[in-house]
Structure 1
Amino acid sequence: MRLRAVLAVARFHGLELDIHDFVADPAEATPSPASLVAWLDGQGAVARAMRISWRDLVKMSNSPPIVLLLRDGGAAVMVNTQPAQNVVWLRDPLKDDTAPAVPVDQLRLQRLWGGEIVLIKRRRDESEADAPIGLAWLARMVLRERRSLRDIGIASLTLSVLQIFPPLIVMQVIDRVVSYRSMSTLVSISGLLVIISFYEVLLGYGRRELSMVLTTRIDARISLHVFARLLALPLDYFERQQAGNVLGRIMAIYKVRDFLTGRLMSTVLDLFTLVVLLPFLFVLSPALAWMTLAAASLIGLIVVVAMKPVSRMTVAQLGAERARAAVLYESVAGIRTLKTLALEPIRRQFWDQATATVIGWKLRVGRMANWPQTLATPLELFINRGIILVGAYMALKSPSAAGVGALVAFMMLGGRVAAPLVGMARLLDEVNEVMASLSEAASVLNQPTETRALTTGLRPRIEGALSFEHVTFTYPGAAGPALNDITFAVPPGTMLGLVGRSGSGKSTITRLLQGVSRAYGGSLRLDGVDLREINLTHLRRSLGVVLQDNFLFRGTIRENITAGRPGLTLEDVVRAARLAGAEDFIERMPGGYETFIEEGSTNISGGQRQRLAIARAIITDPRLMILDEATSALDPESEALVNANLERIGQGRTMVIVSHRLSSLVNCDKICVMDQGRVADIAPHGVLLQRCAIYRALWMQQNRHMQDQP
């Protein structure tokens, strides 16, 4: 009921959501407010769950519909309020939108309602999920934790103030206690120092706890956004890129994360110390304070000058590391081929060359970075050691100069002030690598995504009628079109075969039907609706797709078959396996449907993997199925079993079957013959044998052995 209420309110804002897109948490009996908000945020809405009182609820008379979450796991939709009568008007989400609302008073509602509501509106502006990855994006993400930042700032400022007192107390001890041998003053100062130390320890613990929570939240948010953005990239992008290269670029974002939550955070916190303590240095000794500030500024200048050449080399180093990671990923992914062909020496040579390149760039970067560090070291030594010598010289030469106590206090404060200044200078050195890493990650994550297509668009009821009208499509960078003026139509429930020589455009048609590529010309309609206007998630959930090489996830057979619908029952799984011809071999396995499939499906055969993929496709009962060389990996017996079940599988649904084996398409209602991106002919098998020379030639090639028999 909660989902129905959310759908009703989203529909009010023009968002047509599909209840099947919601993936329930197995640990939740009913959807929690947090899971509802997370799902709505991913569907193009802005949602917020909160708890309010009746007094505040009844005042929301001019607001859009609001979801009220009831204690029993149900929900109601509040459409209006009447503060004067102290009632709210509720509508049952299970009824039609035109159903009348009923008035409910405070006493009746609070028996069922504990104060939880969900506010929903349509997203109008660019959110973090859609904004380009960059410094501004990261800054917005950090600033979302304003409350934690405020608390950390207050704690840091208080600690900085407390740090002023110990050096001043030491100064008093030297100038007054030791000089005048005053025991009572020592006792008083000791008590004060203990109290200050206690509060310093307490505040230090609190600040570290707050910082840990803050960095953990930022870390989690970055990880969630990066993975969501990666999944939103279109399939054709991954097909054009090397997988290891993409992963290497993505992992670079975690260097930025470590910088944000580590060095940058600590340096910013140290700035509070700098702001508070620096004025006291000028009070104690203006001359020494200016020397400290000048030396730290020179360190910063050295680092700034060295930034540009180091940055160029850092980019090259990251590129070399990415290339080496790609070699590693490719070797692991293709380990079966590597072992069977005894390619270990060749792959080892590739790895050695990539490693040598990385080491070479690391040496260059290290040597270049060594120069500014060498030049800055004398200045650091002057701040830490030289200042006291200068101060002692000034005390000897001038009676009005700072005394021994003041000099010691200055050294204690000066060390704490110099550390943030030197840290800021060193921070600039890390900015090179961070900016390069951010650029690497942005080159992947800022690619155009499918987010809008996945979260917006129509969600019509799919019946399976297909209509191609002058469809033309060209792959990026290709010399000619893959599809050229394709025109044909099939009614729902049709079993359509696609045949033709390699490169004729068969698989391209299936890609367009799946919404993988939408940059085509002409009109492609599904049940009379332009395919580009249909919500991409709804479209793909309404399809059943079986490819030539299917991927099974690490998990049980049952989990793999129900991957698209985790809530389906074992009876649904068994029925799908039976249709796919997989029931017999599953029942012979030790664990049956709970048999665990290893990574890469190494413990099952290729034919078994293919039949599990077919079962996974048909368990959702799609109205449109696409089989792209789905039986190519099957042995003759398994292929005959699946082909015999195709008619049962195809009952009441449209099927698009791509196959090089024409014998598996004989029973299709229509067979579309493709040739060089065009439709050569479309008709049943018998008609094509009579009038289509291309189809007849393909049939003769595959059945020559039949004709050679006496």
Structure 2
Amino acid sequence: MELRLLAVITAARHYGVELDRDDLRFPLGEVPQPAALVDWLRNSGLWARAVRLRWSELLALPISGPLVLMGRDGGAFLVVRADPARQLIWVRDPASATDHEPHALDLAAVTQLWEGSAILLRADRGGAYDNEPFSFLWLFRLIWQDKRLMKETFAASIMMTALSIVSMMLVMVVIDRVVTYRSYSTLALVSIVLGITVFYEAYFGFIRRQLTVALARRVDGRVNLWMFRRVLGLPIDFFERTQAGGVLYRLGHIGKVRDFITGQVLTTLLDLVTLAMLIPVLLWLSPTLTWMALLAAGVILLIIVAFIQPVRRLYHHYNEAEISKSTVLVESLRGIRTVKSLGLEPQRKEAWDHTTAAAGGWKLEMLDTLNWPQTLIIPFDFFLRSGVMMVGAYLTLDDPGTGGGLVAFMMLSSRLAQPLGGIARMLEQIEDVRAAVSMAASVLNQPREDTGAGAGLRPRFAGAISFTKVDFTYPGSKTTALDGVSFEIPAGSSVGLVGRSGSGKSTITRLLQGINREYEGYIKIDGNDLRSINLQHLRRSFGVVLQENFLFRGTIRDNIIGGRPGLTLTDVVRAARLAGAEEFIERMPQGYDTVVEEGSPNLSGGQRQRLAIARALITDPRILILDEATSALDPESEALVNANIARIAHGRTMLVVSHRLSSLTEMDQIIVLDRGRVMDVGPHRDLVERCPVYRQLWLQQTRYMDSQRAAAPAPVLAQGS
């Protein structure tokens, strides 16, 4: 197993990518299969594919970099060169030094070692494509990745059109020759050929529909995967300043764009193939009727184009109203407890009624505007479908021998109406879809917070932290959040962050986690500049507990593990015991398999917080951040967690943000902040004496506690009678 992992790591290193084993997901104790290794490589920014190969195919591969062959014993080895002429490949043991010469193997030797599967990998040439902004062009390029399917689909369309032309020509022969000369033998022959033609036309129609469905399914999967990766890659501050309802509404439009391109646009493009083949035949049959049909279609297109701009304006207002409507709905659902507890149902209903009425009004005005082009094109559409036939009938009266040509023309022109109508409908929908692209792009084209899954250092942390003259201001704010902050935290020490609200305590923890990176100065962990560290590795090395923590729907065990691979129930129990959560978990009917419902209504606030602390401790992080982690706990739970603080802090650096100074008295150091500046650093006993800000905070809290003790009645012994 180790050789297999080492082979993949060595091959990736050839392309400048350092793999992180924490990104590899496979069952504990099992040999990682090629599919898991391919996902590992792809998530790290490489192109990778698992394949089954024969010896001849392996020799024929153009090997520009190492490829990985899976060994029969669960290991792997690297192929660095192949010589088809001599029937040899050169392989390297991944455990050997890279400066060792590879050794040659023939078919007999390879057969004994190799189980037939391989992993091909290279630098991802699609990386830049994945980072391109979302647009119509992006989607078209995505579809064109399946150019083989596209070519087969267009080929099927060409065959269908050709067969339909043959069918119409046969009908013309029947009318002009068979009926005129009463030739039964010709009728029989034409009938046989017509039956064969209809059969193959149905066959190619079936193939085209199958190919179209397959293409749509592939595009749908790729778009959804890309969209979710893109959303997860957006910075946290984007979600903090953007309403969730607006984000969901905008992202919902990507389905409309996808369906439009894989449905209406693709169908129209295929119909254009039909149009290109039919027009020459129709001109041959009757130039007059063909030009009349094309003129009617042109007028229809002009009418639709004339109404695009008014519809664009109305659609913009309609979308804005729908965003407001979606925001009211999402906010009401997310805050349903507050709505119910404060009796805010009338206010929320009023807000919903207002936004619904606004959205309905704009939609009605938009549909009224759309009704005009639909009404104006009816006469021209009627002429296209029926008027041409009437003109053709008139022309046939002067030349009765052209009746077969007229019938053939009418049958073919009915095929002409379909693509022309498709183009008209596409132009009618284009504004709707253009707005949908703009909506989805307003989310998906936001700047991402990372520069690549494989970028950055991945040091092993000891936990030493230093801030040097760090200045930071939140985007859009004129007030400095941190002003020249400098301090050092030795590895393995416990440090408290205190100060009034808005003094910069949580800002320091945000900068440490890489949530905000637009700061001035230097932040280092173990001497490594924070900006040079891989973002995923940085956050995985932290344990973070917030004041409000989210638990996912699932078992308590799953929530504590948090989806991290390789962790067992033993690790879960250890983390729960350290967080003081073991006692209430074991009292539950299903223990660690108890299901946490959505929104965790079956857990108290203290229980949720202790589970969050256990989740932060499960990976034994070198750096632990508790940001008001005990503020939501009841006194009993807080006392239980505080009693475990010494054990929790053992062997790791711990930063505790708290307004309750009594919980910080045993910390190695306390950093006192005020208006974004460091006022003093030291242990509790020294700060009480020398730091006015800390002393004032301490006296405010202890004075309250002293008054509480003074107000309590003295105990009185009961007197016996």
Q: TM-score range by the shorter chain?
A: over 0.9
Q: Which residue of 1 aligns with 2:297?
A: 296
Which amino acid in the other structure matches residue 538 of structure 1? H
Which amino acid in the other structure matches residue 626 of structure 1? I
CA contact (8 A) 2:24 2:36 kept: no
Q: Structure 2 matches for 1:392-411, cutoff 5 A?
A: 392-396=393-397, 398-399=398-399, 403-411=402-410
Distance 1:651 1:220, change over 3 A: same
Q: What SS does the corresponding residue of 1:608 show, helix, strand or coil? A: helix
Q: How far does residue 94 in structure 1 lie from its aligned partner after superposition?
A: 4.8
CA contact (8 A) 1:525 1:531 kept: yes
Q: How far does residue 216 in structure 1 lie from its aligned partner after superposition?
A: 0.4
Q: Which residue of 1 aligns with 2:671?
A: 672
Q: Which residue of 2 aligns with 1:137?
A: 138
Q: How many angstroms apart in 2 are the aligned matches of 1:60 and 1:350? A: 64
Q: Which residue of 1 aligns with 2:422?
A: 423
CA contact (8 A) 2:22 2:565 kept: no
CA contact (8 A) 1:300 1:422 kept: no
Q: How far does residue 270 in structure 1 lie from its aligned partner after superposition?
A: 1.5
Q: How many angstroms apart in 1 are the aligned matches of 2:81 and 2:381? A: 68
Q: How many angstroms apart in 2 are the aligned matches of 1:604 and 1:651? A: 29
Q: How far does residue 588 in structure 1 lie from its aligned partner after superposition?
A: 0.7
Deviations, residues 659-692 of structure 1 (Å, cap 9, x unaligned): 1111111111000011000001010111111111
Range with bigger deviation, 504-513 or 344-353: 344-353
Which amino acid in the other structure matches residue 221 of structure 2? A
Note the aligned Cα RMSD (angstroms). Answer: 2.0
CA contact (8 A) 1:7 1:19 kept: no
Deviations, residues 193-247 of structure 1 (Å, cap 9, x unaligned): 1111111111111111111111100111111111110000011111111111111
Q: Which residue of 1 aligns with 2:241?
A: 240
Which amino acid in the other structure matches residue 331 of structure 1? S
CA contact (8 A) 1:315 1:433 kept: no
Q: Which residue of 2 aligns with 1:159?
A: 160
Q: Which residue of 2 aligns with 1:520?
A: 519
Given the two structures, how large is their TM-score scaled by the length of structure 1? 0.96
Q: How many angstroms apart in 1 are the aligned matches of 2:63 and 2:273? A: 46
Q: How many angstroms apart in 2 are the aligned matches of 1:451 and 1:149? A: 34
Which amino acid in the other structure matches residue 466 of structure 1? I
Distance 1:641 1:97, change over 3 A: farther
Q: Which residue of 2 aligns with 1:590?
A: 589
Q: Structure 2 matches for 1:594-613, cutoff 5 A?
A: 594-613=593-612
Q: Structure 2 matches for 1:70-85, cutoff 5 A?
A: 70-80=71-81
Q: How many angstroms apart in 1 are the aligned matches of 2:75 and 2:659? A: 53
Unaligned runs of 5+ in 1: none
Which amino acid in the other structure matches residue 8 of structure 2? V
Distance 1:97 1:598, change over 3 A: farther
Q: After TM superposition, where is structure 1 displaced by more than 6 Å over at least 4 residues in a row?
A: 59-62, 82-85
Q: What SS does the corresponding residue of 2:408 show, helix, strand or coil? A: helix
Deviations, residues 128-160 of structure 1 (Å, cap 9, x unaligned): 321111122111101001010011111110000
Q: Which residue of 2 aligns with 1:545?
A: 544
CA contact (8 A) 1:453 1:536 kept: no
Distance 1:645 1:90, change over 3 A: farther
Q: How many angstroms apart in 2 are the aligned matches of 1:38 and 1:161? A: 45
Q: What SS does the corresponding residue of 1:672 show, helix, strand or coil? A: strand
Q: Which residue of 1 aligns with 2:287?
A: 286
CA contact (8 A) 2:89 2:104 kept: yes
Q: Which residue of 1 aligns with 2:616?
A: 617
Which amino acid in the other structure matches residue 21 of structure 1? D
Q: Which residue of 2 aligns with 1:484?
A: 483
Q: How many angstroms apart in 1 are the aligned matches of 2:706 and 2:289? A: 104
Distance 1:100 1:613, change over 3 A: farther
Which amino acid in the other structure matches residue 589 of structure 1? M
Distance 1:564 1:486, change over 3 A: farther
Q: How many angstroms apart in 2 are the aligned matches of 1:97 and 1:334? A: 59
CA contact (8 A) 2:18 2:454 kept: no
Q: How many angstroms apart in 1 are the aligned matches of 2:551 and 2:510? A: 20
Q: Which residue of 2 aligns with 1:432?
A: 431
CA contact (8 A) 1:455 1:537 kept: no
Distance 1:549 1:99, change over 3 A: farther
Q: What SS does the corresponding residue of 2:377 show, helix, strand or coil? A: helix
1:503 aligns with 2:505: no
CA contact (8 A) 2:450 2:535 kept: no
Q: What SS does the corresponding residue of 1:464 show, helix, strand or coil? A: coil
Q: What SS does the corresponding residue of 2:128 show, helix, strand or coil? A: coil
Range with bigger deviation, 49-58 or 315-324: 49-58
Q: What SS does the corresponding residue of 2:78 show, helix, strand or coil? A: strand
Residues paired across the two proteins, number: 707
CA contact (8 A) 2:492 2:654 kept: yes
Q: What SS does the corresponding residue of 1:151 show, helix, strand or coil? A: helix
CA contact (8 A) 1:464 1:653 kept: yes
Q: Which residue of 2 aligns with 1:534?
A: 533
Q: How many angstroms apart in 1 are the aligned matches of 2:147 and 2:452? A: 33
Deviations, residues 87-145 of structure 1 (Å, cap 9, x unaligned): 44433335665677554332122223244332333346753321111122111101001
Q: What SS does the corresponding residue of 2:26 show, helix, strand or coil? A: coil
Q: Which residue of 2 aligns with 1:127?
A: 128
Deviations, residues 454-482 of structure 1 (Å, cap 9, x unaligned): 43100011110001000010001111210
Q: What SS does the corresponding residue of 1:127 show, helix, strand or coil? A: helix
Range with bigger deviation, 667-676 or 162-171: 162-171
Q: How far does residue 176 in structure 1 lie from its aligned partner after superposition?
A: 2.6
Q: What SS does the corresponding residue of 1:655 show, helix, strand or coil? A: strand
CA contact (8 A) 2:467 2:486 kept: yes
